[in-house]
Amino acid sequence: MCIREVYHKVMEILSNPQRFFRRAKKEAGFRPVLIYFLVITLFYIAISVPSNLIQINSMLPEAAGLFGMSSILIGIGGSIFYIIITFFSSFITLFLFAGILHLSTMLMQTRKDFKATLQAYAYAHTPMLIFGAIISYLVISEVTAIFSLVPMVVLALWTIILTIMGIKELHNFSYGRSLLAFIVGIGITIAIFLAIFLFLLLVGLAMAPSFG
């Protein structure tokens, strides 16, 4: 898959997502969707790195004094750390949340495999990765950060709508069934994180010293 193909996919997802998801059914294997997600993730990182560096620079005097390092080393180190964390966390969350979403589609008695859910989740995040990188520049200061709230909410809603649309087309569900699958997926996610939180809380309380 070349950059031109990725570009055409981006434009079709943004302009005519229903037609795109119908065509995505014909994709063979996981390779096309994973390469696409890799490219737009790298795009997000490349565009957002400067804004991250600006935020690091604003904290350099305090960080340099705290760690006894030069400002240049901290800036370079911080950017490299950001790139690595963003890259790997993007793919970890891709498979984690697509897996949870697929579990919910299985509860809705889908006849499609995991690839269909991965496609729905990955392609639906196109607006968030493309425009989110640009919006990241609004959070570089407290003055402009407030202006990022509305576009981020719009991007989140856009992503949700595309995810539901992708589930509908790729799993051959109705819109109602797709919406229910998405809601169930959210419920499963909340339940998992709540269970982890309670487990860590209980472990912390068990390990805390007794005062009585």
For residue 128, being part of any structural domain is answered with yes
Place of tokens 């496609």: 119
What's the rounded Cα separation, in Å, for the pair 29 and 116?
10
Q: Say what the pTM is.
A: 0.85
Helices 71-107 & 31-67, crossing angle to 10 degrees?
A: 140
CA dihedral 194, 187, 118, 110 (to 10 degrees): 140
Per the structure, the complete domain to which residue 45 belongs is given by 3-207
Place of tokens 């065509």: 23
Percent of the chain at pLDDT above 70?
Answer: 84
> Mean pLDDT for the chain?
86
For residue 202, being part of any structural domain is answered with yes
The gap from C-alpha 83 to its chain's centroid, in whole angstroms, comes to 15
Contacts of 188 (CB under 8 A, 6+ apart): 100, 103, 104
Q: Could you report the per-residue pLDDT of 53-103, keeping only the tens digit for each?
A: 776 666 555 554 455 455 566 667 777 888 899 999 999 999 999 999 999
Task: Dig out the tokens for 115 from the structure.
Answer: 């690839």
Question: Quick one: pLDDT band at residue 147, thresholds 50, 70, 90?
Answer: confident
Question: Quick one: pLDDT band at residue 118, thresholds 50, 70, 90?
Answer: very high
Question: Quick one: pLDDT band at residue 212, thresholds 50, 70, 90?
Answer: very low
pLDDT at 48: 86
For residue 13, being part of any structural domain is answered with yes
For residue 30, being part of any structural domain is answered with yes
For residue 212, being part of any structural domain is answered with no
pLDDT at 4: 86
Number of domains in the chain: 1
**Amino acid identity at 182:** F
Q: Could you report the per-residue pLDDT of 186-202, keeping only the tens digit for each?
A: 999 999 999 999 998 88
